[in-house]
Structure 1
C-alpha cells in the first residue's frame, strides 16, 4: 500500500507511518505542540482499534495485507480541530504532584491516565530537564500532544517542593481524550458481551476506504455526556465518595460549570461537606486560589473569570451547597478573595507603566478567628510585591460586614441566585444542613 494519500480522496486508508507524518505536517503551525509517533509510539493503541488524537478517538482498521491503517480524512479533521485551539501559556493548571489524592479505580484497558503517566515519568526521570532528553522507544506524547514542550515546573520559596503545571487548553484536551477512551472501552465491552454488534462504539460515522470496504470513526466523545440536573443535591461527599462506582458514574456527566468537558471529580464544599456537582479537572482547579496558606489566600488573575466574565456560572455552582445557599455567603477563602478583588477594588493603588497605569503588586487577604464565630473573624487585605515598597495594608474588614456586602452584590449581580438563597428559602434544602466544618483531608485544599 502506498504511503501517500491520493489527491481528493480524504476517505482513503493510509498506514500508521504515513498517518504519523501527515499528523505532524498538518499541525506544524498549531499553538499546541504535537509529536511524531502519535500512531506508532506508546501510548498509541492502534492495535486495540483506536488512537487518541487531541480530544478524540480515531478508529483504526487492519488492511488485507496485515498492516494497521487509518482513514486519512480523520487525521485531517483532527488536525484541523487541534489547529483551531487557542492556548494561553500563562493560564496554567496544576497537574501534580498532589499529596493525599484519592486513588483512581484501576482498569488495564484504559491506559491514558495522563496525570499519572506524567507524574510517574517525571518522578522517575528526576524532573522536566531529564524527561526532555527522551530515550529511544520511551513514550513522549499523549494523544499526539508533546506535553514536555509546555510543561512548567514551579518550586516553593525554599525550593523543597516542586509542582508541575500545563496550560488549561491542553488539560481540557487531555481530559477529553481520557473520556473518549473510557467511552470507547466501555462500548467495546458491550460489543463483546453482545457479540452481535459490528459497529465501532461512540456514535460511529461511516467512511469508505480506497478499496471499497467500510470503516468507521468516532464522533466527539463529549456528545454522549449527559447534563447534570441536581441528581446529587444535598448528598454528603464523605458518604458518596466511598460508594463503589462513583468515579465511573461521575465520568458520565458533562462538567456542571463549563458544560463542555467531561466531568472528572465531584466538587464539594469543605465547610459544610455537601457535594456541589461533578466538574472537569480544569474547572476544579480554576476555583482554587493561586496559593492557599493556613489562614490567607493570594488573589490571582483567575478571579477575573470567577467574579467577572463567568460570574453567574460560578455563583450558581458555589450555591449548590445547601449550607452556603442557606447562609447566602461563600466558603471563607472564596469570600476573602471576593472581598479583596471586588469590595476593596477601589482601594488598590496603581503605578505608572509603559502603557498607562498598572495595579499595584499582588493582592493577598488573610483572616484571624473563624467563620464559626463571625464577630471574631477579621479579614485583612494587603498588597504583596509593591514596586515602590510603600503599600502594605489596604483594608481590615470584619467577617459579618464582608458577608453583608456580598449579599448586596449578589442581589445586584445575579438576582436569580440571590432569590434562591437565604434561610427562608428552605425548598429543596435538607431539614438540618451541616454546621460549618474545616476539611483538612488533603494538603493545600483546606476549607475548599
Structure 2
C-alpha cells in the first residue's frame, strides 16, 4: 500500500488537541523531516540555512534526503510505532513509499483504539466534563486512578493552608496527617499523594501529587523554576529556606547558570553574538561554579566562573524578587478618595 507523507508542520503550529495524537504516517514523516533538516544544516553554513528541507524533493522525500541515506542514518535505531518497526517493512519504488496493506490496517486500528481509550480517560467521573487530552485530571485513589476535574477535586479534597509550615518532615505530627486528603499544592488539580519536604532543612513544604512531586525531585532545577508555576514560592514554604533567604543547594548552580545564559555572550569581530551559548559542562572548583560554554554558530568555546559568594547573592536576589512579587499580588490598592484624589494602600 502506498504511504503518502503529510506536509511538514512545526510543533508550535499544532492545535493543542492535535499534539501527540496517534498518527503513524505523521510519525514516520517526522523521522524523515528530522534527518532532512540535519542533512541540510550539515551541508551549509548557518547563514545559508532555509526551509527547503521541509518540501518534498525529487526523491519523494523531504529536501535533499535520499532513501539510501535515510536508511543508513536510521540504521541501528530502535524507533518504533505500536511496538512495531515500520521502516523494516517499508520499501520504495519509483519514488513511492510502500508498506504491506495488512500492516497499515493494523496501524490504523491502533490509532482508533488509542483514541478511544484517551477519549474515555478524559471524562470526569463525577460531572462528565471533558478534560485535557493528556491526563492532567487523573487522580489516584485506593482503588486506582480516576478522572476528576479541578472543581470536583476541590469539592472532595481540601486545600492546604500551610498548617504544617515549619514542622519537620520526620515529626510525629507529619506522620499522623495524611497528605492524600489534600489537593496538590502546585497544580491544584489533583489529589496529593505525599508530603514534599526540603532535603536541606527537613521542613515540610506541602502536599504534592505524584506527578508534581516527581517533577520537583527528578527534573533539572532550571526546568522546575522556569516551567512550574509557583515553583519558587513552594520551595520557600520551607521555613529554613525562607528565614535564610535561600533555596536548596541543588538550585544554586541552576540560578548561576540562568544568570550566565542571560548575560554571557561570545564576542566576535568586536560584536556581541546574539545567540544564547550552549553550556556543555559545569563543575564546582576552587570556590566557584565553572561553566564551559560554546557558541555553535561561531565554533567558539570559553569558560565563565561564578564564585560561591556571587552565587549566594544571585540566590538571595531571586528569593527577594519572588517574595516581592508575591506581596505585590496580594496588595490591593484602595479606591481613590474623590476629594483629595490620593491613594491609600490597603
Greater helix percent: which structure? 2
Could you state the TM-score of these two structures normalised by the residue count of structure 1? 0.39
Larger Rg: 1 or 2? 2
TM-score, reference length from structure 2: 0.49
Larger RCO (CA under 8 A, 6+ residues apart): 1
